Amino acid sequence: MRVFKGEVTTLPPDKSISHRAALIGALSEGITEITNFSGGFDNQSTLGVLQGAGISLRQEEMQGAFGRPMRRVVMESRGLWSFQPPESPLMCNNSGSTMRMFAGILAAQPFASELVGDSSLMKRPMKRVADPLRLMGAGVELSQSGTAPIRIQGTKEIKPIEYLLPVPSAQVKSLVAFAALHADGESRIIEPVRSRDHTEVMLGLESFESEGKRVIVVPGRKTIEAKPFYIPADPSAACFIVALGLLARGSEIIIRDVCLNPTRAAFLDILLEAGAGLSIENQRVIGGESIGDILVRNKAGLDPLVISDPQVVAFAIDEIPMLAVLSAFATGQFELHNAAELRTKESDRIDALVVNLQRLGFECEQYPDGFMVKSRMRTPSGTVVIESFDDHRIAMSFAIAGKATGSALDITDINVVGVSFPNFFELLEGLEA
């Protein structure tokens, strides 16, 4: 029986906040210092496209709390129009966040540009990017199938907008906000279902409730003064370690300095309601973000997870793969609805989860917006091949299940975990008692 114990102080910095800190820094006037910036492939892609568009920046190694190594990014910019025409297409690699959010900035620059990605990213839908930017006056061209490359003819005369988000998407909300910062007038972004709010928090945008919807107000052409950012540990990465501690008998793990923003930590509420052995310690606020330590203890009696509320789905969208695998292995059951957005991630995550769970002997039923795990009909003998579908969250979810339960799993393209969690396997080895 494998037991996992210890203190986690080297969780990857938050991906979402790292992306936004770099993009906001590039829009600011002055020198921006970002402490504990993520070294994951996706966030490095954001720095790469910024440099490709003329932003001067450097990365430095430093030592943080608990003696852990950290990465500091220092960049200098001159405000909203600090960018230069790229000499070639800007490569986003596998980062949909980079492509979608940076498109909003490029739409407001007075030059043409093009965003491209790897083979996986070039298949992902981008119509939701093009639609609001066209309404704001930018020229945007996609492939015939509505995917990248995204060719943008930007304009300095970007128009203010009142935009109702058709689906919950923090990326689309952010790209509209970044474009609207350049407009000659106030814009409003309307969310029927609230999504993660890092962009609003970091920019200090006002918001209010109206007729059951959330309205975010974006002032146009307002100077953004450069300021320092500190990036807390990524809750989406913490979810994997939490699942490890809950699945492996006798385990006890404390995870330090995790972002506990309410729009990101819904997976903890889901697990607590299901009876998981979790507690939050040392909670405080840094830079407008709630941060704390998560203590996880293995205990019997986890209830099967049922996730269907659209708001909960929006707040836990990145953690759903791990929650599904955790619930399946711990209880033999899981149920998900109102999560069609999962089909447009790095993979079709609904299909990827069902395919792999069926290989492991689980009886599943799939829907357009979710799926159900009914029971485990058999336990396979020998090694089971798990298909990662080039998706870091699928790969890590099943790797955690294999580690915690001792299941023999052969996960394809396992190195894809480096997209968001470069030290994933090193950390797991350090926790194994």
Question: pLDDT tens across 288-323, in order?
Answer: 899 999 999 998 889 999 999 999 999 999 999 999
Task: Quote the pLDDT of residue 304.
Answer: 98
On whether both 97 and 241 belong to a single domain, the answer is no
Calpha distance 162→176 (Å, rounded): 10
Task: Quote the pLDDT of residue 339.
Answer: 97
Flag whether 196 is in a domain: yes
On whether both 201 and 252 belong to a single domain, the answer is no
Task: Quote the pLDDT of residue 80.
Answer: 98
Residue 66 has pLDDT above 80, yes or no: no
On whether both 34 and 125 belong to a single domain, the answer is yes
pLDDT category of residue 63 using cuts at 50, 70 and 90: confident
Flag whether 8 is in a domain: no
Looking at per-residue pLDDT, the higher value among 160 and 168 belongs to 160
Residues in Cβ contact with 144 at an 8 Å cutoff, skipping those fewer than 6 apart: none
Calpha distance 320→200 (Å, rounded): 24
Domain final residue, candidates 173, 204, 222? 222
Mean pLDDT of 141-160: 98
Mean pLDDT of 220-244: 96
Domain final residue, candidates 222, 244, 268? 222
Mean pLDDT of 146-163: 98
Query: Is cis: bond before 149, omega within 30 of 0?
Result: yes
Task: Quote the pLDDT of residue 286.
Answer: 87
Task: Quote the pLDDT of residue 433.
Answer: 65
Q: What residues does 278 pair with on adjacent strands? A: 296
On whether both 96 and 239 belong to a single domain, the answer is no
Instruction: Express as a percent the part of the chain with pLDDT over 70.
Output: 99
pLDDT averaged over every residue in the chain:
96
**314: region left, alpha or beta (phi > 0 left; psi from -120 to 50 alpha):** alpha
Flag whether 288 is in a domain: yes
Residues in Cβ contact with 96 at an 8 Å cutoff, skipping those fewer than 6 apart: 117, 121, 124, 171, 345, 346
Instruction: Express as a percent the part of the chain with pLDDT over 90.
Output: 93
The DSSP output letter for 428 is: H
Flag whether 388 is in a domain: yes
Mean pLDDT of 170-194: 97
Task: Quote the pLDDT of residue 68.
Answer: 76
* DSSP SS3 for 425: helix
Active-site annotation, residues: 318
Crossing angle of helices 96-106 and 127-135, rounded to 10°: 10
On whether both 217 and 257 belong to a single domain, the answer is no
Task: Quote the pLDDT of residue 69.
Answer: 84
Flag whether 245 is in a domain: yes
Alpha-helical runs (H) found in 248-348: 266-273, 310-315, 320-331
On whether both 212 and 243 belong to a single domain, the answer is no
Task: Quote the pLDDT of residue 368.
Answer: 97
The pTM for the full model equals: 0.90
Task: Quote the pLDDT of residue 1.
Answer: 64
Mean pLDDT of 131-149: 98
On whether both 360 and 245 belong to a single domain, the answer is yes
Flag whether 302 is in a domain: yes
Calpha distance 344→125 (Å, rounded): 7
Flag whether 134 is in a domain: yes
pLDDT tens digits, one per residue of 349-372? 999 999 999 999 999 999 999 999
On whether both 406 and 316 belong to a single domain, the answer is yes
173-211 in b/e burial notation, b at 16+ Cβ within 10 A? bbbbbbbbbbbeeebbbebebbbbbbbbbbbebeeeeee
Is the CB of residue 345 less than 8 Å from the CB of residue 262?
no
Task: Quote the pLDDT of residue 65.
Answer: 67
> Beta strands 187-191 and 162-164: pairing type?
parallel
Please give the radius of gyration of the chain, using alpha carbons only, rounded to the nearest integer: 21
Task: Quote the pLDDT of residue 288.
Answer: 83
Task: Quote the pLDDT of residue 298.
Answer: 93
Residue 50 has pLDDT above 90, yes or no: yes
On whether both 270 and 243 belong to a single domain, the answer is yes
Burial degree of 18 (CB within 10 A; 0-12, 13-18, 19+): buried
Closest CA to 158 of 94, 121, 110: 110
Calpha distance 306→146 (Å, rounded): 33
Structurally, how many domains does the chain consist of?
A: 2
On whether both 262 and 390 belong to a single domain, the answer is yes
> Beta strands 162-164 and 69-78: pairing type?
unpaired
Task: Quote the pLDDT of residue 2.
Answer: 84
Domain final residue, candidates 201, 222, 243? 222
Residue the block writes with tokens 């995917």: 147
Helix (H) / strand (E) element for 23: namely: helix 15-27
Burial degree of 271 (CB within 10 A; 0-12, 13-18, 19+): buried
Looking at per-residue pLDDT, the higher value among 64 and 250 belongs to 250
pLDDT category of residue 400 using cuts at 50, 70 and 90: very high
* DSSP SS3 for 390: coil
Flag whether 1 is in a domain: no
Is the CB of residue 4 less than 8 Å from the CB of residue 251?
yes
Calpha distance 252→182 (Å, rounded): 49
Task: Quote the pLDDT of residue 208.
Answer: 97
On whether both 237 and 303 belong to a single domain, the answer is yes
CATH number, position 341: 3.65.10.10
Q: Which residues span the domain enclosing 142?
A: 15-222
Looking at per-residue pLDDT, the higher value among 399 and 120 belongs to 399
Task: Quote the pLDDT of residue 64.
Answer: 74
Residue 267 has pLDDT above 90, yes or no: yes
On whether both 189 and 301 belong to a single domain, the answer is no
Alpha-helical runs (H) found in 125-234: 127-135, 170-180, 198-203
